[in-house]
Amino acid sequence: MAALAKANSADVLYDFSIMRVYTDGRVERLAGKDVFPAGLDAETGVQSKDVVISPELNISARLYLPKTAGTDGRKLPLLVYFHGGGFVIESAFSPTYQKHLNLVAAEANVVIVSVNYRLAPEHPLPAAYDDSWLALKWLASHSHAGGQDPWLNDYADFDRLFFGGDSAGGNIAHNMAMRVGLENPGAGGINLEGIYLNCPFFWGKDPIGNEGDNVYVSSLLENLWKFVNPGTTGLDDPLINPAADPDLARVGCKRVLVYVGEKDPLRNRGWHYKEALRKKGWDGYVEVVEAKGEDHVFNLINPTSDNAMAMVKKLASFINNV
């Protein structure tokens, strides 16, 4: 989260808990820099590898393949995942996401494509959205088994396609689903079945529930959004506040699963998303699950806790529609 620097911090323009920005333009990331190599995960048997999507833009992805792939001749559902980190830190190659997505791939028996998009402030929004859409178009080139990657050609079922993500990644997943819906659902090999939003980074100008009680958190979120998206129209920009989107009913999927944490400042926005979908006339299936006693993206902090593993199992049921 972002906050304006203290007045006596002469050299610091913004002081983040995860990143500092200095008056000379220098950016110092304090978290989310670690990289974990792809390969075989001994615990789950899931294999992973890295692929380049656009060398010109430095867009890439990490692919995950469960050990059951190819064992019965049937293709597996496909999850496109967008990592969190406030649009400013983390990557698809982080140990945080490696652990979580290995567990999801094994439990849900799903092929995963974890997109590595460019970060703000070097690449402010809409770069992350544009990169993610480019990655989806690259992915769609495999829908008839004619793409560059054999894992996607041989094992991915593009009729069972899902988007997912946490925090900022949940925001991206929603906005990619909106773009699918607005640009002709099913066109170009993108036939989206559902989206999974884990503690999604949504906000708005008018407080919901107890949001107005914590001015500090509200200012953090507002500062962060304006920092990563300097061209925004404000906190009721549909990119950050889906309820303000007149086209919300056109979100391009049939099913939605939202996770919120009871102690997460973004909790109310997850519930509000469900209400907004209904009010706008979207007629698909939507479910919100609240994890008691948990804070923001709790499953990434402690991926094998009871609540985190319950989330993995719930996501597996959602993807497999059981």
Active-site residue list: 167, 264, 296
Q: Is the dihedral of CA 276, 286, 64, 113 positive or negative?
A: negative
For tokens 């997912």, what's the residue? Answer: 164
For tokens 């001015």, what's the residue? Answer: 215
The CA R_g of the chain, rounded to the nearest whole Å, is: 19
| Sequence letter at residue 112 | I
Gap between the terminal Cα atoms of the chain: 36
What span, in angstroms and rounded, lies between the C-alpha atoms of 269 and 198? 11
Judge whether 199 and 169 are in contact, CB under 8 Å: no
Angle between the 95-108 and 306-320 helix axes, to the nearest 10 degrees? 50
Angle between the 127-140 and 168-182 helix axes, to the nearest 10 degrees? 60
